[in-house]
Amino acid sequence: MNSWLLAGTVVLGGGVGATLWGVATGPLRRRVVAQNLSTALACPGLLLLAQGYERPSYVDVALVLALLGPVGTLVFARLLTDELAADPPRAWGLTWAAAGLVAAVVLALCVAVGPSRELVKILLTGAILIGGNVVASHALSGGFAEVRGG
């Protein structure tokens, strides 16, 4: 087992396990935040495993997850608007911590991979994931007032 695999296992095991627990228990506001964070933690884990197993195709899986995860959170935010309006989630600290983890993983992988096509996919995955999760967290916390009402 190399260090990439160990780091990927820690991120997936610890982070995604905690977010799955958050999705399964607690009030609605914690569940939607945990669902959003599960994507933010699963993608860096997949990127680390891609480097550890030397399988660039895992980067494609992380890219698809980075695209679909925040979109799923936005769907939940739209469908649960009335329930979340009374007690909106406030998870900006967790959102920025997850964004920092993604940035650290992407930076380490960029150094390890070097200039290549895989480097572009890793950077694109990181940018989409960070941007998507920030937008989804903003939507969950009651943002985008100009969009309300259809």
Residues 42 and 64 sit within 8 Å (Cβ to Cβ): no
3-state secondary structure of 149: coil
b/e sequence 17-35, b meaning 16+ C-beta within 10 Å:
eebeebbeeeeebebbbbb
pLDDT in tens, 84-103: 888 788 778 888 898 999 99
Residues 58 and 44 sit within 8 Å (Cβ to Cβ): no
What is the model's pLDDT at position 66? 93
pLDDT in tens, 103-121: 999 999 999 998 989 999 9
Answer yes or no: is pLDDT of 150 > 50: no
Higher-pLDDT residue of 20 and 141 is 20
Domain boundaries, the chain: 3-140
Q: Which two tokens stand for residue 75?
A: 């769907």
User: CA-to-CA distance for 150 and 146, rounded, in angstroms?
Assistant: 9
User: CA-to-CA distance for 79 and 38, rounded, in angstroms?
Assistant: 19
Answer yes or no: is pLDDT of 48 > 90: yes
User: CA-to-CA distance for 31 and 23, rounded, in angstroms?
Assistant: 4
Higher-pLDDT residue of 87 and 65 is 65
Answer yes or no: is pLDDT of 145 > 70: no
pLDDT in tens, 6-45: 999 999 888 888 888 888 888 888 888 888 888 889 999 9
User: CA-to-CA distance for 72 and 40, rounded, in angstroms?
Assistant: 12
